[in-house]
Every structure is written in structure tokens, then in C-alpha cells.
């Protein structure tokens, strides 16, 4: 019996590697002493947890000190393998790094400089392909901070250097690229993101994602105008493609880091789950498997829009392997779950109705679910029945 365990994190409870480990422990306990193999493949959808997925698939963790979203130094991880790097921008520029949480002030001042510095750190290690996983960002700066982290200097009308943050972009008059990292031209970038919003307007980064980062309605108006001005200045400096990029699908991702990835890094935008499943080699590892287990903290309508469980389900279906989901809770109907390709779904709330206890005790509860699945698999194996989970 060979089971592939490919979950995402249970947000607020466990990382994807921890989820896989607890499930494997329970499965082994339930299956007993028979011939059983549990292959753990932590996965993610391109946002938080992408580094864990990379490490689990053979990348090496690296740590460096970069500029945090409000200018403070923070230690951030990234992952490398040969000449390829995986960068999770939340590690350098994430909401979770704001010491007192999001507010109107942080919404206007938070920057993505640290993400640019992570890219430079990867370049220093010889990487020439960089996967940029975006999500959970604190900034709404159109990715201007990424350029600053790579050596660009933003100047006001008096020639003074501007600080980071979206609001400051209203004052930018010119951009000095004389110290910009020239290695960017020889580097392939992949933007791992499912967000298809443009940079500006009613469905742009400030309007849609700004309030999540503490922006008031007035802040949204101010930031949208500042980012629009920045686009004009960047277009004057680098060409009209910078204006077209503002309207591209995905430009509004991560407070506009998607925009600068498309406009300045010439990144290819791809669904995050597809990128992660590719570098984890899930398709190859599914060969010969009897069962796949995937999941995430909350299996809901958002999951159906391309989150990790759906990506794993598609890969398992293609390989002809049955797939089940394990989650903290599920709000999907039986019909939706069946249409999504899941044979069965096991939720922690099946064992413990108190959601807060599920969050606090996710590890032991996952082991219970894993043991239940393991016992079932052992019975099917003993009776030589076709695996129909």
C-alpha cells in the first residue's frame, strides 16, 4: 500500500510538512505492521507555505536579513536548488510582519523592498530562474519597493530620495536606474499567482486589497492616484509597455508586485498551484500510488477556485489515483466535493465540534483521522478488495 500525502498548511495551526507528518503517523498506526509506504509531499498554492513545499521537494533553505515592510530589518527565508530559487514574498514583505497589525498608516507606508533584496540574494548565489510566490503582502506600492531593493532610486522634484511605500509614489518625479542590478536581464522570472486583478481602478490593488491591509476609503483613493502616477513615471523611464502592464491580469497581485514583475522583470504569470506541483514533481511521484490525501484548513468555495486541494485532485485524476481530502472544516456540499474529484472528505470538526479546539489541537486530531483511514485501508488490503475510498 503506497499513499501520497500532499496537503497545504492548516492556516493558524500547522505548516504543510507538519500536517503531512501527523497524517503519516496516524496512517501507519492504523494500517499496522503490513507493507505500507507514506510519501510526504507538502504543497502550496504559491502564497504562504511555498518555501516549505520547496524544501520538501529538495530545495535548500537559505536565510538572509532584508528590509521589512516598515523599514525594520527582518530575517527571511528563501529556497534554492541548482540555479533556481523560490521566493515567498510574505517572508520579507508580509502582513504578518507588521508589529501591531494593519492600519491606515501601514497601508500607505508598507513597502516591498525586502522582496527585491531577496531576489538580489538569490542572484548572488548564482540563481538565474526565480519563482516569485506572492500572497499575504502588507504593501500597496505597485512593486516599486522591489525595484528599490534591486538598486533603483526614486527621486522627488527636488532630487531627494523618496522612502518606500505606496503613498510616497505621489511625489516621484524620476527614477535613477544607474545602480540597478543588471543581472535581472539574464534571469527568468515566474510570477506564481492566481490573482487576475489589474493594478488600478475599481478592481485594482488599492480598491480590492487595500482595505484588507488597513486602508480607509480615502486611503484607497490616495493610493490609486499615487500608483497611477508611478505608472506614468515608470513608462516615461522605460517605455510604454509599463502602461500596458498596469492593465494586465495579475498586475494587482500582492499590492502591485504583480505589476512590477510583469512590467520590469518580464515575468511569466502562472497559477501558483501549477508552479508548486511542477517543482515538487507530484505528477512523477503519483506513479504507482494507491491513494492520494490532500487538504487544507478550510475546504470551501475559495478552494474550488484553484487552491491546493483542487490542483492535487486534478493531478491525481490524471494519474488514475483516487484522492481524499482532510481539512479542519468543510462548507462544501456532497455534490461539490464529488464534482471536485474527492471520493471522501474527513474534517477535524467530525471529531471535535469546537473550532477553536480543532485549531489548537490540530496535530492529535489529524493523527486520529489518519488512523481511521489507515484502519480502513488495512481492511481493504486484507480482504483484497478494490480500493474505493
Examine the domain organization and report whether 95 and 27 are in the same domain: no
Our count of domains for the chain comes to 2
Examine the domain organization and report whether 246 and 131 are in the same domain: yes
- Angle in degrees, CA 29, 319, 288, rounded to 5: 50
The helix/strand/coil state of 139 is coil
Confirm whether 389 is domain-assigned.
no
**Residue in the block written with cell 536579513:** 65
Question: Is residue 292 within a helix (H) or strand (E), and if so which, with residue range?
Answer: strand 291-299
Q: Assign residue 338 a region (left: φ > 0; alpha: ψ between -120 and 50; beta: otherwise).
A: alpha
Question: Residue 256: exposed, middle, or buried by beta-carbon count in 10 A (0-12, 13-18, 19+)?
Answer: buried
**Listed residue (132, 44, 53, 129) closest to 90, CA to CA:** 132
Do you know the residue count of the chain? 389
**Beta strand 323-330 pairing with 37-40:** unpaired
DSSP states of 246-274:
TTSTTTTGGGGHHHHHHHTS-PEEE-HHH
pLDDT in tens, 31-52: 987 788 999 999 998 888 899 9
> Residue 287 is part of a domain; what is its CATH number?
3.40.50.10350
User: Whole-prediction pTM value?
Assistant: 0.89
Give the pLDDT band (50/70/90) at residue 386. very low
- The secondary structure of 314-353, three-state, reads HHHHHHCCCEEEEEEEECCCHHHHHHCCCCCEEEHHHCCC
Examine the domain organization and report whether 181 and 88 are in the same domain: yes
- What does DSSP assign to residue 125? T
pLDDT at 12: 87
pLDDT of 323 higher than 90: yes
Are the C-beta atoms of residues 315 and 277 closer than 8 Å to each other?
yes
Examine the domain organization and report whether 170 and 95 are in the same domain: yes
Residue that finishes a domain, picked among 217, 237, 272: 272
pLDDT at 34: 74
Average pLDDT over residues 326-348: 92
Examine the domain organization and report whether 125 and 266 are in the same domain: yes
Phi first, then psi: what are they for 175, rounded to 5°? -125, 125
pLDDT of 30 higher than 70: yes
Question: How far apart, in whole angstroms, are the C-alpha atoms of residue 290 and residue 308?
Answer: 20
> Residue 68 is part of a domain; what is its CATH number?
3.90.1510.10
Confirm whether 201 is domain-assigned.
yes
pLDDT of 346 higher than 60: yes
**Beta strand 268-270 pairing with 188-192:** parallel
Examine the domain organization and report whether 221 and 347 are in the same domain: no
Helix axes 16-31, 362-382, angle to 10 degrees: 40
Examine the domain organization and report whether 301 and 162 are in the same domain: no
Confirm whether 387 is domain-assigned.
no
pLDDT in tens, 50-71: 999 999 889 999 999 999 999 9
The whole domain housing 290 covers: 2-41+281-382
> Cβ–Cβ contacts within 10 Å for residue 160, how many?
10
Examine the domain organization and report whether 203 and 126 are in the same domain: yes
Amino acid at each position: 500500500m503506497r499513499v501520497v500525502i500532499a496537503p497545504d498548511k492548516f492556516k493558524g495551526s500547522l505548516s504543510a510538512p507538519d500536517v503531512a507528518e501527523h497524517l503519516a503517523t496516524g496512517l501507519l498506526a492504523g494500517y499496522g505492521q503490513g507493507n505500507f509506504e507514506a510519501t510526504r509531499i507538502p504543497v502550496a498554492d504559491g502564497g504562504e507555505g511555498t518555501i516549505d513545499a520547496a524544501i520538501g521537494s529538495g530545495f535548500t533553505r537559505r536565510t538572509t536579513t532584508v528590509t521589512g515592510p516598515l523599514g525594520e530589518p527582518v530575517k527571511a527565508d528563501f529556497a534554492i536548488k541548482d540555479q533556481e530559487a523560490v521566493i515567498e514574498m510574505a517572508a520579507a514583505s508580509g502582513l504578518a510582519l507588521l508589529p501591531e497589525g494593519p492600519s491606515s498608516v501601514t497601508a500607505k507606508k508598507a513597502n516591498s523592498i525586502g522582496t527585491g533584496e531577496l531576489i538580489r540574494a538569490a542572484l548572488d548565489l548564482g540563481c538565474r530562474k526565480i519563482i516569485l510566490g506572492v500572497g499575504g503582502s502588507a504593501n500597496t506600492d505597485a512593486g516599486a519597493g522591489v525595484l528599490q531593493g534591486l538598486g533603483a532610486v526614486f527621486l522627488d522634484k527636488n532630487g531627494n530620495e523618496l522612502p518606500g511605500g505606496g503613498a510616497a509614489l505621489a511625489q516621484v518625479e524620476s527614477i535613477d536606474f544607474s545602480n540597478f542590478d543588471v543581472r535581472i536581464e539574464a534571469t527568468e522570472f515566474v510570477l506564481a499567482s492566481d490573482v487576475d486583478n489589474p493594478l488600478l481602478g475599481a478592481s485594482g490593488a488599492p480598491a480590492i486589497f487595500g482595505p484588507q491591509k488597513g486602508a480607509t476609503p480615502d486611503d484607497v483613493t490616495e493610493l490609486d492616484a499615487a500608483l497611477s502616477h508611478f505608472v506614468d513615471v515608470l513608462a516615461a523611464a522605460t517605455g510604454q509597455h509599463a502602461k500596458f502592464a498596469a492593465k494586465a491580469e495579475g498586475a494587482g497581485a500582492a499590492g502591485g508586485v504583480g505589476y512590477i514583475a510583469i512590467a520590469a522583470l518580464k515575468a511569466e504569470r502562472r497559477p501558483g498551484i501549477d508552479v508548486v506541483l511542477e517543482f515538487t514533481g507530484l505528477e512523477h511521484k503519483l506513479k504507482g500510488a494507491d491513494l492520494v490525501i490532500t487538504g487544507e484548513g478550510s475546504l470551501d468555495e475559495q478552494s474550488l477556485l484553484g487552491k491546493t486541494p483542487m490542483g492535487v485532485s486534478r493531478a491525481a485524476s490524471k494519474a488514475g489515483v483516487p484522492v481524499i481530502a482532510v481539512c479542519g472544516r468543510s462548507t462544501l456540499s456532497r455534490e461539490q466535493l464529488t464534482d471536485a474529484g474527492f471520493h471522501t472528505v474527513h474534517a477535524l470538526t467530525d471529531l471535535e465540534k469546537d473550532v477553536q479546539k480543532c485549531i489548537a489541537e490540530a496535530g492529535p486530531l489529524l493523527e486520529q483521522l489518519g488512523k481511521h483511514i489507515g484502519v480502513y485501508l488495512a481492511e481493504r488490503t486484507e480482504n483484497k478488495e478494490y480500493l474505493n475510498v
